[in-house]
Amino acid sequence: MTAIDLPPPIVVVVPAHNEATHLPRCVRALMMSALCVPNPVTIVVVLDACTDGSAALAEEFSPEVHFVEVDAGNVGAARAAGFEYARTSLPAVGEDAWYATTDADSVVNTDWLVRMTDADRHGDADMVLGVVHIPVWRHFSPAAARRYLRAYRAKGDRGEGHGHIHGANMGFRARAYWHVGGFRPLSSSEDVDLVRRFEDAGRVVHRDRHLSVATSDRRNGRAPGGFAEHLRDVDDPDGTHPSGVSA
């Protein structure tokens, strides 16, 4: 294979705030997924204002995984810091790269990167949006789980597409990402904001309901108005659904 035929690099960014319990499983799953694509893959974990000893994990996973520490206390800023690190500190990663991101409490399938970067599935898409599933319900009642699944499936019933946006399962071309300005320092819905700017710029967004990532059903999330808050809202059928939730 000549240099001109080399597949473009992939960068996966994982923002983490006090996720020492979840991070090892998340990172190991990403490393397995990276082995299944011909592209060179760099995993960047952004430790954001961590006080739980998460930084010690760098010794376990380095040098295969890059760990970056910030003190933003903001998921949008943490995701942005990961991609900025890739652009400024990884000379082999140019604007032809494919960027992807997931969450520290989520676990990707082994074929996650294979499916996300499959041109036969997504054509010339500038962004690919997947879905999430909860494999084990530990913190909510069966009734709440049923309500959630009914609503989630209804929103996802769009042929091969779906109506969801999850920072835990999205990817995009580096050139398009920088063109729209990247992630903004939003404490929640930073993923929704990025998708909106891709669409406003006329970029091609492909929604793949078969591209799924496992995530947790924890009640107390890291981002206000995020997925955990959405689950708590579903658990209270008489409550009001918070606006802007990207589920």
Q: What is the mean pLDDT of the chain?
A: 88
Q: What local confidence, expressed as pLDDT, does residue 221 receive?
A: 56
**pLDDT: which is higher, 135 or 217:** 135
CATH class (in words) of the domain with range 3-235: alpha beta
pLDDT digits (tens, 9 = 90+) for 56-70: 999 999 899 999 999
pTM: 0.87
Cα dihedral 109, 115, 117, 121 in deg (nearest 10): -160
The residue behind tokens 């010690």 is 56
Mean pLDDT (whole number) for 215-240:
62
Is the pLDDT assigned to residue 212 strictly greater than 80? yes
Beta partners for residue 65, in sequence order:
43
Tokens of 58: 């760098």
Give me the helices (H) in 105-242, please: 112-116, 119-122, 142-156, 174-180, 190-200, 227-235
Q: Which of 58, 67, 60, 62 is nearest to 15 (CA)?
A: 67
Task: Place 241 in a pLDDT band, splitting at 50, 70 and 90.
Answer: very low
Is the pLDDT assigned to residue 231 strictly greater than 70? no
Who contacts 55 (Cβ-Cβ below 8 Å, separation ≥6)?
A: 47, 67, 69
Q: What local confidence, expressed as pLDDT, does residue 226 receive?
A: 61
Start-to-end Cα distance in the chain = 42
- Angstrom distances, CA of residue 203 to CA of 5, 119, 129, 198: 25, 16, 13, 5
Q: What local confidence, expressed as pLDDT, does residue 216 receive?
A: 83
Q: What local confidence, expressed as pLDDT, does residue 233 receive?
A: 64
Q: Which of 27, 35, 28 is nearest to 10 (CA)?
A: 35
Q: Which of 86, 96, 100 is nearest to 129 (CA)?
A: 100
Task: Place 243 in a pLDDT band, splitting at 50, 70 and 90.
Answer: very low
Label residue 42 exposed, middle or buried (CB < 10 Å: 0-12, 13-18, 19+).
Answer: buried
User: Residue 171 and residue 179: Cα distance in Å, rounded?
Assistant: 15
pLDDT digits (tens, 9 = 90+) for 144-181: 888 878 878 877 666 668 899 999 999 999 999 999 99
pLDDT digits (tens, 9 = 90+) for 19-32: 999 999 999 999 99
For the chain, domain boundaries: 3-235
Least confident of 1-10, 194-203, 226-235: 226-235
Tokens of 127: 């962004």
| Percent of all residues in the chain with a pLDDT value above 90, rounded to a whole number | 68
Is the pLDDT assigned to residue 18 strictly greater than 50? yes
Is the pLDDT assigned to residue 235 strictly greater than 90? no
Q: Would you call 169 helix, strand, or coil by DSSP?
A: coil
